[in-house]
Amino acid sequence: RVVPNAIKTWAIAQQIDVLQPTKLSEEVREQLVQMNADVSLVMAYGHILRDAFIETPRFGTLNLHASLLPNYRGASPIQSAILNGDAQTGISLMRIVRELDAGPVADVEEVSIEKLDTALEIESKLAGACVPLVSRNLKALESGMLDFVEQTHDEATFCRKLTKSDGALDFTVSASVLAARINGLHPWPGCRVLVEGQSVRVALAESAAGAGEPGAIVGQDEGALIVGTGNGLLRLLQLQRPGGKMLPAADFLRGFPVPVGTKLPTMNMPILIKSSN
């Protein structure tokens, strides 16, 4: 059942018009003209805006991009920051240009990435970070005092749109890389492992010291299913069997035992991030 989100609910209560066009037609642009819009803010829109739309508001159209630019231009910046093992990410307030996420940046709001943060937690942190970022910059924009600084383009990195195949895990790489990938790709597309021919989804993981054959189950400890990797041990903390619910590892293993020595097949992990070079 489709229900209004918090923003639409608030706007309706304040008797503010809510437009939800499926396509940005000329008719929609005329509505912005009639509203005498001061500024448009775009976030994770995923479509190229025509110049006419960008220029319609009095102060133009700004983009809120979910990374500290020039890092992670593209479609999956939240996941990419976690996968890369970054300690921080943030929101960048920028001008829209024709090149992908390459516009000049006015300001950023940083957030921390904790050890067990998934993409879901970081998305929530970034949503909250938009509030102070926009609040402190709109008045400066109106007064003409907001400065935009060109990005260092040769330091840019790029991230692509995610697919289900990105959830594959290669147990020959280090446990820290695998944990970051599992956490970064939750809730979508999610990482999966094959256990006795069944596809088991993994939602949360961490790395630990130790050694074991890559892909081999080496035991259980403090509510984790422990797997050997190319460097260190991977602690799987939440798992989901086909047709079941996501459960803490201890609960999962009570109904789906995975004996020590079980081998989890290694699969090729597609590259998600590339540099401008």
**Phi and psi at residue 179, to the nearest 5°:** -60, -45
Tokens of 143: 């007064």
Spatial strand order of the sheet with 157-159 comes to 73-74, 157-159, 273-275
In this predicted model, what pLDDT tens digit does every residue of 89-105 receive, in sequence order? 999 999 999 899 999 99
pTM: 0.93
**Phi and psi at residue 41, to the nearest 5°:** -120, 130
Q: If DSSP codes are grouped into helix, strand and coil, which group holds residue 198?
A: strand
- Per-residue pLDDT of the chain (277 residues), as tens digits, is 889 999 899 999 999 989 898 888 999 999 999 999 999 999 998 788 899 999 999 999 999 999 999 999 999 999 999 999 999 999 999 999 989 999 999 999 999 999 999 999 999 999 999 999 999 999 999 999 999 999 999 999 999 999 999 999 999 999 999 999 999 999 999 999 999 889 999 999 999 999 999 999 999 987 899 999 999 999 999 999 999 999 999 999 999 999 999 999 999 999 999 987 5
Is there a contact between 125 and 91 (Cβ–Cβ < 8 Å)? no
Is there a contact between 93 and 108 (Cβ–Cβ < 8 Å)? yes
In this predicted model, what pLDDT tens digit does every residue of 210-223 receive, in sequence order? 999 999 999 998 78
Q: Which amino acid is located at 36 in the chain? A: N
Mean pLDDT, the chain, whole residue set: 95
Q: If DSSP codes are grouped into helix, strand and coil, which group holds residue 109?
A: strand
